[in-house]
Amino acid sequence: MTIHQYLLKASQDDAKRAGERDRLLLEVRRARITHRQRARSAAPARRIARLLFRRATA
């Protein structure tokens, strides 16, 4: 192989790695967003349950 071919191969490998890294980062962002949404949606239910429990014990 010539130096030119080595450089082409290296740049292709770098592009693949960058694409894989971007894909993984996107998956992590999506997971964080869905996790935050689940946590937010559960908070009002917990608050209501706490209020009802306080009234039942008082």
Domain hosting residue 14, numbered range: 1-58
Q: Is 21 a residue whose pLDDT tops 80?
A: yes
Q: Is 10 a residue whose pLDDT tops 90?
A: yes
Number of domains in the chain: 1
Q: Calculate Rg over the CA atoms of the chain.
A: 25
DSSP 3-state assignment of 35? Answer: helix
Q: Tell me the two tokens of residue 30.
A: 């999506």
Q: What is the pLDDT of residue 39?
A: 61
Quickly count: other Cβ atoms within 10 Å of residue 20's Cβ. 10
pLDDT digits (tens, 9 = 90+) for 22-48: 999 999 898 887 777 666 666 677 788
Q: What is the pLDDT of residue 7?
A: 92
Q: Is 17 a residue whose pLDDT tops 90?
A: yes
